[in-house]
Structure 1
Amino acid sequence: MATAELLQLLPVASCQKNDNSKIKTIPRHAEAQINYNDFYWNYMDANCPVVLTGVSENWECRKKWTFSSNKNSAPTSNENNTTYTAINFDYLKDKLSDCRVPVADCSREYFNSHVKKEMQFCEFLDYWQAQVNAYSSTVNKINDNPSNLKTTDNLYLKDWHLKAQLADYNFYTVPKHFASDWLNEYLIINGKDDYRFVYMGPKGSWTPFHADVFGSYSWSTNIAGCKKWLMLPPNEELKLADRFGNLPFCIDEQILKENNVVFYTVMQEENEALFVPSGWYHQVCNLTDTISINHNWFNACNVQRIWRNLTTNMKQVIQEIADCRQMDNFDEHCQTMLRASFGINYLDFLDIIEFIAERRLSSNSNGNNCNVATEKSSNFVIFDTFTLNEFHIRNDLECLWKLLEIMIQDKVICDSRNLLYRRCLRLLELMKGF
């Protein structure tokens, strides 16, 4: 295997910090022009969105799943007559036809989501191709409010774990700026379900107003087409809540302006990756036929946010079944309900934290000054491509130490002195003197 690229993280003082407190527009940077260290401190650590351009030029999916611009491929267009890369339906059918895929019907609401089903990938491609043929012969304007779209069905392939299904199919590579990914690092190595997705949809398909799972980061790279994002900084969504605290299913710019919501409109073009920070609510509409690669993840920068979200949801679970507190195994029942509603529970979270800590401890050289960033790389590889420099490893461990000190003060963990408490103490002991 070729030498892995070093993710060179330096102390924050080495970074030219941006003032992100009052951004007027979401900044854009060419991926090749912003280094890993600046991205880490200015955007991930600052929890600030950014668009990286020129991301997917060498990806297999961009070269093979779409037609290049110099081919006679009947490219797709949006309402402004901007021409975009066309979808290579024949190649996709030949390469991936037998896969079963998750599909949402964007014309049908089910609680706070869209109606979902599974279908053969070839069936979805046939539907999509029919949609392309239908609107290529007629004018099909997209309303700014996706809920007003007039269609009998509006199918969107979402959350397809293609990389997990076909591990040897290298159709993309993780950009180095997003490589510090504790969630998928743990899940992939341990053979568990991951948070790496493919999205494909026709013009007019869309994703409702939401924040990402666990309050995680996400990145989304457009392989083909154009997406319109409406993005809200944390807590701005509260201005839209009804008297029961429920948020709307669908938003538009008029609703946001009427409620004095601070928001950003992002037109994401082909070959661009959008970094969505923790807790930023957003809604996404496909203005053309689109394909994108998406990851959800967390790391040292936002892991305390994930923990706060987890504890908040645990308190809600305990409150909902408080009248059952005298039942046997009440704590275990709460953890089961937490996993069902939030996606993970305390045990799952601690499994991830232990794995990341032990992996970095195995690579850490005792006695190195944590304020000095050496060139020494770790003895493990992330996404088959990247390694961490010494300062990066120690920064991860310092953040884990601070997190564990917070965790052992949590009422659920601390009061019962149960397995969770003992595991936290064991890990703190293991990390002494790192």
Structure 2
Amino acid sequence: MSNYLLKNAVIVNEGKKQNGDVYIKDGKIERIGFDVTVSEAHELIDLNGAYLLPGCIDDQVHFREPGLTHKATIASESRAAVAGGITSFMEMPNTVPNTLTQELLEEKYQRAAATSIANYSFFMGASNDNIEEVLKTNANTVCGVKVFMGSSTGNMLVDNETTLNNLFSKVPMLIATHCEDEATIRANIEHYRAIYGEDVPVEMHPLIRSEEACYKSSSLAVGLAKKHGARLHILHISTAKELSLFDNSIPLEQKKITAEACVHHLWFSDEDYAAKGNFIKWNPAVKKATDRAAIWQAVLDNRIDVIATDHAPHTIEEKQQSYFKAPSGGPLVQHALTAVLEQSKQGLISIERVVEKMAHAPAILFQIEKRGFIREGYYADLVVVEEKPMTVNKSDLLYQCGWSPFEGTTFSYTVSKTFVNGNLVWNHGKIMEGTNGKRLKFVRG
């Protein structure tokens, strides 16, 4: 492990931009200040006025391992993540087999320890019949419990009323939910199948996985959380209507019900299906431009607390199938930060708020130990961003699936360096091999 002195940075942290230096020693931030000098051995890096941000924390990814490794692996996607300035990720349980036992959960941690270049945590999965296993989950070493209140892989649709009440009344740790009402979606599918047969256009996706389906499920989750006093985090909000469910009158530290927005719902709209087709087919669906605008407003006024990716790669061949056969999801971690920073360039959000929503807020919301901020004594998870245009090209992608919905897009910023636990893991377009990330820990009572 090397020690680094980062000179002449514009440090973006805790609502401020200020010039300064950061000294990294033994994997942590040792000193922050002006004209920092160091007597011991170190590597000096002059950032020449580039931005220095805390590493992004992505609270929702699907890295496909085990069982779906033809799409992605923890190794491949964690490298794409650090190339995009994401230094820590939380991965979902709908792998094969589904992560429904403590043994299967621990196997994923062991795999990440061996292959992930980024820091990691994994959600414990809930089903209609594994409440005993869920209750064994250690809140200090696992990010949360994931409940699919909408269709998913295998045995992970939780639609039993008794089970839902059990989960929300008994699970003491954070419950993260995917909220889409399955009955509504099935009825919509039959409606559009009656019109189009098997050749349903992808433009119908936001009408099949509709505003009604999202709101019905999200409002049920919020009602259960309020009834039982549960700690609820609703993932990937996609509609304006759902925003009425969330509160911005209290600080994030005090919230028991929180929400997430994803990059694709902040970037694309239903107007993009004509050009992008199944390559922007996600669940929940990308919806109207008015929904996108409302979600942005909710991010800015703190009804929505974090920005994440729901990174969920599939092969090009899978995505090129017909609507019903093409799976939902797409790769995003390599350009999520630069995509959101592009909106700061356009004046929609300040760079300070980008850092808040992608680093500070996930750390607070999940109560992560010593990450998400540039503070002395914290782990040196840091990202250097230069104001330098960068066009997304297929040849530069690190995703195993080999494609991106952003191909051909030019962003105003480039992630030039990424440090994970004080290790330089991404340096001007190249992964620096030789170190692995750490398991995230959580400070919970």
TM-score (structure 2 length as normaliser): 0.29
More helix by proportion, 1 or 2?
Answer: 1
Larger RCO, structure (CA 8 Å, separation 6 or more):
2
Q: TM-score, normalised by structure 1?
A: 0.29
Which structure: larger Rg?
1
